[in-house]
Structure 1
Amino acid sequence: MPFILDFVSEQEAETYASFILTKTLQDGGQKLEDEFIARDDFKQYLEMAKTIQVEVDPNSKQLISNYFVATRRSRPECSLPITAISKLTSLAESHARLRLSPTVTYEDALAVIRLYEQSMSYVYGKSICTSVCPQKEMDFEKPAQIHDTMVSFSLWLDKYIKTYLRDHSMTSRDSSMTFY
């Protein structure tokens, strides 16, 4: 198995990371002797990901900001702190780094917001989200289902934000988004 830090180019490392992700999704995360990632290799991958300098694209910043304002307006019982914007942004940056990407995309922000919505349902009970956001569980062995779930979530999020922000100028992404 090649060491991630030994790759000649970022493209080569990205191709390898994509291969690992695809195999993991196809195999349901089962350990295959000849394809299992050694702990040291995974540590090297994380070390490499950690060093990537990322920029947050304007659409991602706007999505996180709009989500924050809409959530504060619609769910005061959640008491979303002002620091949530920086935390959501940091998580989106981490998501981009794990993809070995120097840019935080709309999809990174969307994935983080979906995780946040899921965690709110665990903390405050499903009642906070069932009437508000779709609560589909994802089967990580089926990339097409992940894609469909995220597109559906994106459409819901766009409607949710438009409901609580008058000057909402973001347009939701269409089915051309790429999730895994």
Structure 2
Amino acid sequence: MLALVAAVAALPVADAAYTATTSTPVNTFTAGTVALSAAAPAGKVFSVANAIPGSYGASCVITTYTGTAPATVRLYFTGVSGTLGNYLVARVQSGTGTQTDCSDFTSPTTLYNASAPAAGGPTLAAYLAAHTGWATGDGAWPVTGPATRAWKFEYLLIGDDNAQNSTLSFTAVWEAQT
């Protein structure tokens, strides 16, 4: 028996064990994107010179969201200067369409409609002043993938001698945030 114990003690120790493994395929993460572009006539909402009382204009800006992340798009205005906005009746709408001349604008939602500026009523100046950044932006448009929206701007210059030689300039900004 001593010989058997000695023979077993002389055997090399093997690293024998039962094992099993499992794994998942390669794991990946990709960040979403937020991408927004705008098309406007001559790159601007308006470019009007020598307007007289009764001057009217309409223009559509077509915004296209091509991001992959869900976002909300809002419209606001920066760089507002001049006093002519106090004499402009305005309407701003969002809807569908692809033409910057508004020829196919449909399904309007009115964001602002100043139709009676007499006696200090609402004008374009009031609308511009109320929407100066993302927090006060207008027309919240939720997007979850590629989408297009038309934004129609209309103006009418009222008859008021104080409007003579006045100017107005502003930048319309559409911002998408997740």
TM-score range (shorter-chain normalised) is under 0.3
Give the TM-score of the pair, scaled to structure 2. Answer: 0.25
Structure showing the higher strand proportion among its residues? 2
Structure index of larger Rg = 2
Q: Which has the higher contact order (CA 8 A, sep 6+)?
A: 2
Structure showing the higher helix proportion among its residues? 1
Give the TM-score of the pair, scaled to structure 1. Answer: 0.25
